Structure 1
Amino acid sequence: MQVSMDDRTDDSAATFDEVEAFLAAHPDIDAVDYLITDTNGVLRGKWAPADSLKKAFETGINFPLSLFGLDIWGREVTETGLHVESGDPDGFCRAVPGSLRKVSWAERPTAQAMLQMFTDEGAPFFADPRLRLAAVVDRLAAAGFYATCAFELEFYLVDPDSAAHTTDLAPLLQGNGGPDRQNMYGLADLSDFEALFSDIRAFGTEQGLPIDTIVSEAAPGQFEVNLKHRADALAAADDAMMLKRLVAAAARRHGLKASFMAKPFFDWPGNGLHVHVSLIGRDGNNAFADPNGGEARHLAAIAGLMETMAASTLVFVPSWNGFRRLQPGSYAPTAASWGYNNRSVALRVPASSPEATRIEHRISGADANPYLVLTAILSAMLDGMEQGLTPPPPVETNAYESAAPSLPSTMLAALDEFARSDFIASAFGADYRDLFVAVKRAEIDEFLTEITPLERSTYL
């Protein structure tokens, strides 16, 4: 069975060995990037000298608890109660065992380590997204399961000069017909960026990221990098965060910007973050393929996801822009639907051998927080199995034309569903639900008070 988060973080001998082994293998390292994922899935942190590594793994690096009370722009949301009104105290961020890696693209010899937040009493801090996922992993373990997960991440490559001027933003695709045509799965488009994708693979190998396939996606300049399955939900989410950092860095080296914006172009498909999930039982086999109740367990997990989908939409689509991605016919779902081998549904059961039976969760945008996404998914699956739920019949044709219940179509509607959900309070904790609502309500208020250029050009 998978060990608990406390077991992994408190093993000081193991962490000491990790630091010693890493520094022995990389004696030239003189700096460390400390990385922690905030509420919005944005990596924050600090740079420090290499001699801080032992402290990071044993006692922790200080960061204010209010790091998790920031909006998408990095501004304080006072309604979270984490800022000056509380005295803005520090927490202690201990390095995640196994996360110490060399930063291959850095100009100076640099390492990176992921952090997670604990209070000064040593308790996991409730607002750390990684520790929210760790709590669900422990719930699954108590029920006799651990999750096998893999993320698929879509992004656009754009001209950074155009990206600085939003009215002129356009995908950048060199050669092979220009930016006005679709060339899904086009090998020529991959060849155009062969040097960039070679760097992504090389950096991934050096950092231990399980990069699998790379494909040209459904729009000019859009690509997808798939990660291999991990029999560890926390490691899978770590992979997704590190992949985004790596892709962005590799793109910069080639004079490009990698955009993970959920819907950067209205006439082209948005960027998704698809998640493949199966459960492994105590016998080490796929619990969905068990001849004694595996199919019923699989359907119950799907039913749990269906039951909680509207309440969880704000986690899967956490941005104002993200709701523009959920359009009929766009391969981004608009309804709580499921089906076998059907890419128009929200929950797809891919064609596979029985031992690879899984669920592909297709709702999240590329700007979603992977830790929160998996927290919602695994909690819903567990609830569905514990309650013995049964899903509606699968959608066999076009889900956009089915009678499946619609997902919230705006950020405000999604926030209302999230804020009143008992499931969310149970899966994330009521305190976390309130914090997330405060952050997202502040972001909504900002968009509602913005006068757009279109309004001025129309009415001024």
Structure 2
Amino acid sequence: MTFQTSADCTGSPLHEVERYLAEHPDTEAVEFLITDTNAVMRGKWAPAGSIEKAFTSGVAFPFSMFGLDVWGREVMETGLHVDTGDRDGFCRAVPGSLRPVPWADVPTGQVMLTMATEGGEPFHGDPRQALERTVARTHAAGLRPCVAFELEFYLLTAADGQTAAEAYRPVLSLGDGPDRQNMYALSDLSAHAGFFADVRAAAKAQSIPIDTIISEAAPGQFEVNLKHRVDGLAAADDALMLKRLIQETARRHGLRATFMAKPFMPWAGNGMHLHISLVDGEGRNVFADPARGQTLLEAAVAGLLDTMAPAMLVFVPTWNGYRRLLPGSYAPTRAAWGHNNRSVAVRIPAGETAALRVEHRIAGADANPYLVLAAILAGMLDGIEGGRTPPPPTDRNAYEAPAPELPDQMEEAVGLFRKSDFIRRTFGVEYRSMFAAIKDAEIAAFRSEISPLERSTYL
């Protein structure tokens, strides 16, 4: 049994280019976009005449793009830089990704790319390829992932200050103090109605399926939810494009949008929650099957819990991200699950049986959606294929539950990731080594920096 995904659409690739240029005849430029290991969007600008090349021979980019740390610096230990000649790969367009750029100053299109070797093979360092392999494994099992992403972010405004921490503060809709929550406040949404109207308009222009927009648990914090898609690759593409869209729209409004996992210690962090069910060849949710649905759901949950600790570095890939994982913060600290319980790592939301699904609540908003979804799907499949059984669900405060504690330091997460057979099977030996080397370099950089608190205390 096979399923079509966004990566194997039928039809001539050039038909997409011809259709787009017919609909947007004034196009002057194109942005070629590719996502690196840290979910940073990289690429280049080119004249509109270059669009066709992306759909045929491909656009050259160095493999070393995937061996950069979060600051965009080369990490030599990845083996992708000068020691191997800093060779080029060839990036081809993701079918269906040619879209207009509403915020551009001149009529511009954008197209997402994925990396191939000189011989045309998928390049192991491309995060999108990792998800594509895992989606293919799901399809081989006769299933398709039905996925919806939820992304939290802060809207910031410029402030007086010399340091990055002082230069921005959360936007406020009212004149009250910045320590208030005002959760789910319509007033906060109304105060930024123009910004969110532009977000929705840009999403419509780019075919990004936005659903609800919510004022969240801290001043200036919001959440945008995407509609579910029965296509894991397309759902992750949407999440990445939504982040870029929000950041660019904020810039046009004189604001800054940040998906940093924990930008402010007193307030809630930014999470990336995923809602996932599995459907069969007839489009039916297998978790809702009266005969076997509960068994499959619990097996999937067991797989997620068993693989959670070694995959923690994928879910929380930044030094800052571990500051978000605090008791009582609604960011999980233990490998626990439960029904209609927001303190657990894997939640089964309340709702109709036909919509039965898991909500994975660990990832920070700054994580790479391709890698996060790949790890989650692989964990669910491990549980289902192994017929695993989870521990009893938690119906109370999961921060005090008798469940394994999750890594709360980046060093521990790197160690578990590096030696994990689950990570090897999901991402491959080369990717496991490359990703761990990048994170080692980032840890070393943070450890070499003396903080203002140290100076103010000891100088």
Matched, 1:72 2:70: yes
Q: Within 5 Å, which residues of 2 pair with 1:100-179?
A: 100-161=98-159, 165-168=163-166, 169-179=168-178
CA distance in 2, matches of 1:171, 1:325: 17
* Residue 52 of structure 1, aligned match among 40, 50, 53: 50
Q: Structure 1 counterpart of 2:422, which letter?
A: F
- Match in the other structure for 2:4: 3
* Post-superposition offset of 1:355: 1.0
CA contact (8 A) 1:176 1:189 kept: no
Q: In the alignment, what sits opposite 2:308?
A: 309
Residues 381 and 453 (structure 1), Cα distance of their counterparts in 2 relative to 1, 3 Å cut: same
Match of 2:357 in 1: 358
* Map of 1:456 onto structure 2: 455
Contact between 2:33 and 2:43, CA under 8 Å: does it hold in 1?
yes
Q: Report the counterpart of residue 445 of structure 1 in structure 2.
A: 444
Farther-moved stretch of structure 1 (392-401 vs 171-180): 171-180
SS across alignment from 1:288: helix
Q: Are positions 1:349 and 2:336 aligned together? A: no
Distance 1:18 1:363 in 2: 37
Query: How far apart, in 2, do the equivalents of 1:39 and 1:306 lie?
Result: 24
1:98 aligned residue: 96
Structure 1's consecutive aligned runs of 4 or more residues displaced over 6 angstroms after TM superposition are none
The aligned runs of 1:14-413 (5 Å cut-off) are: 14-161=12-159, 165-168=163-166, 169-413=168-412
State the partner residue of 2:414. 415
How far 1:446 sits from its partner (Å)? Answer: 0.5
Q: Give per-residue Cα distances to partners, 1:388-410, cap 9 Å, x unaligned.
A: 00000000011011111100010
Contact 1:151 1:236 (8 Å CA) reproduced: yes
CA distance in structure 1 between the partners assigned to 2:386 and 2:354 by the alignment: 24
- After superposition, the CA RMSD in angstroms is 1.2
Distance 1:167 1:30, change over 3 A: closer
Mind listing any 5+ residue stretches in structure 2 that lack a counterpart?
none
Q: Deviations over 1:57-112 (max 9, x none)?
A: 11110000000000000000000000000001100000000000000111100000
- Residues 175-212 of structure 1 deviation map (CA, whole Å, 9 limit, x = unaligned): 25242211000000001100000000110011100000
Query: Taking structure 1 as reference, are residues 28 and 161 closer, same or farther at Cα in structure 2, changes over 3 Å only?
Result: farther
Give the TM-score taking structure 1 as reference length.
Answer: 0.98
Contact 1:151-1:240 within 8 A present in 2 as well: yes
One-letter amino acid matched to 2:187 = A
Cα separation, 2, equivalents of 1:171 and 1:4: 39
TM-score by length of 2: 0.98
CA distance in 2, matches of 1:162, 1:367: 26
Contact 2:62 2:86 in 1 (8 A): yes
Q: After superposition, give the CA deviation of every residue in 1:218-267 in whole Å (9 maximum; x if it has no partner).
A: 00000000000000000000000000000001101111000111000101
Post-superposition shift, 1:7?
Answer: 3.5
Could you report, residue by residue, the CA deviation over 1:371-400 in whole angstroms, capped at 9, with x for unpaired residues? 000010000000100000000000001101
Residues 137-158 of structure 1: CA deviation (Å, up to 9, x unaligned): 1111111001000100000011
Residue 4 (structure 1) shift: 5.9
CA distance in 2, matches of 1:162, 1:19: 46
How far off its partner does 1:292 sit?
2.5
Match of 1:431 in 2: 430
Query: 3-state DSSP class of the match of 1:330?
Result: coil
The count of aligned residue pairs is 457
Question: Shift of residue 294 of structure 1?
Answer: 1.3
Secondary structure class of the residue paired with 1:311:
coil
